Amino acid sequence: MAVYTDVAADELADFLRQYDLGELLSYKGIAEGVENSNFLLHTTQGSFILTLYEKRVAKKDLPYFLALMTHLAEHGVSCPLPVKAKDGEALRELSGRPAAIITFLEGVWPRKPNATHCAGVGEGLARMHLAGANFAIKRANALSVAGWRPLFDAAAHRADEVQPGLRAFLAAELDHLSGGLWPSNLPEGVIHADLFNDNVFFLGDKLSGIIDFTFACNDMLAYDVAICLNAWCFEPDHSFNVTKARAFLNAYGRVRKLSEAEEAALPLLARGAAIRFLLTRLVDWLNVPPGALVKPKDPLEYFRKLRFHQSVSSARDYGLLPSGLVA
Ligand SMILES: Nc1ncnc2c1ncn2[C@@H]1O[C@H](COP(=O)(O)OP(=O)(O)OP(=O)(O)O)[C@@H](O)[C@H]1O
Ligand SMILES: N[C@@H](CCO)C(=O)O
């Protein structure tokens, strides 16, 4: 995460008196991530993460995220648990922001993911999809097709500063994706929607936990698969790694088999996932708040990934065998 909103030590110590978490020993802002302000807290009771929710998170959605983490943890997914204050509520306010404390998860996120990590993510994602099946609360995906146009409108006038021709490229791709092709009848459920390598912790080669549910929502499960193909299966030079993709898709399919319709839709869903992150990154790139402790992510990484998906003709190009997922 980043730090957009600072918290003074005495303010934090006061805040912690609402909880049974002991005395504050130390705390520090976490520079990683781009969405919210996060702090690592050490108290006499242990380590915790404090999140102050920022611009892209609607306050009305916070109960969904907090209840989802609790639900998933109760259904076997290793993820942080929201910590309730003495009054039984996890969601509070600090420094004028909605705020929550969650438990600290052991593990490190892989800086250079390999095919074994990709397989771990495939299995973990599928398990999360199954665990979310009976989660009662619903939240629409604010960053699906209908959400991309406003992002484009916000950034279009400066897109060519980032790369000449980017504006026209994005306009054409948006027209293509919003022109009636986007699937509407694929299996839906709870999706993480941001399962990047910095949101998955490993101990050695074994997945130890999933964090950061602030984009979680109800949408097509295969869209989550497409987001992970983008996030995990490309190299630092942005070339596609089919070995990683095959490892990811096979591991996913061993837990939850993709239907033929889901497989057929993957190239289109992967284009959608790529433009979603291209657009949010572009908006962020052009609007870094002065003084914020944040390193904006490169939008052009997703331009290159999107170009790759535009060249894909079928899910076989992602390493899937024609008969389905055979390991
Ligand atoms: N429960 C947790 N246990 C341990 N570390 C955590 C936990 N939650 C967050 N962190 C640390 O904070 C960092 C950023 O967290 P997170 O990914 O939730 O932030 P974000 O701003 O929402 O980022 P993103 O850009 O991924 O959306 C993580 O990479 C990790 O180092
Ligand atoms: N995972 C996102 C940032 C959080 O939405 C990205 O890499 O663009």
Same-domain status, 166 and 23: no
3-state secondary structure 163-210: CCCHHHHHHHHHHHHCCCCCCCCCCEEEECCCCCHHHEEEECCEEEEE
Same-domain status, 95 and 180: no
Q: Which of 130, 110, 63, 119 is nearest to 204 (CA)?
A: 110
Same-domain status, 167 and 299: yes
Q: Which of 51, 70, 103 is the last residue of a domain?
A: 103
Same-domain status, 210 and 269: yes
Percent of residues, the chain, with pLDDT higher than 70:
96
Mean pLDDT of 128-151: 96
Q: Quickly state the pLDDT bin for 59 (edges 50, 70, 90).
A: confident
* Domain of 256, in residue numbers: 115-318
Q: In the prediction, which pLDDT does 35 show?
A: 78
Can you state the angle between helices 166-177 and 260-286, rounded to 10 degrees?
Answer: 150
Same-domain status, 36 and 124: no
Q: Is the pLDDT of residue 325 over 60?
A: no
Q: Which of 103, 134, 154 is the last residue of a domain?
A: 103
Q: Is the pTM of this model over 0.90?
A: yes
Q: How far is the CA of 277 from the centre of ligand 2 (A)?
A: 7
Q: Quick check: CB of 212 below 6 Å from ligand 1?
A: yes
- Angstrom distances, CA of residue 39 to CA of 8, 109, 118, 194, 323: 12, 17, 28, 20, 47
Q: CATH number, domain at 167?
A: 3.90.1200.10
Write down the ipTM of this complex. 0.89
Which ligand is closest in space to the CA of residue 276?
A: 2
Q: List, chain by chain if needed, residues with CB within 6 Å of any ligand 2 atom.
A: 34-35, 194, 196, 277, 280-281, 297
Which ligand is closest in space to the CA of residue 54?
A: 1
Higher pLDDT, 54 or 298: 298
Which ligand is closest in space to the CA of residue 299?
A: 2
Q: How far is the CA of 150 from the centre of ligand 2 (A)?
A: 18
Q: How far is the CA of 199 from the centre of ligand 1 (A)?
A: 6
Mean pLDDT of 72-99: 95
- The dihedral region occupied by 212, where left means phi > 0, alpha psi between -120 and 50, and beta the remainder, is left
**Chain segment 187-196, per-residue pLDDT in tens:** 999 999 999 9
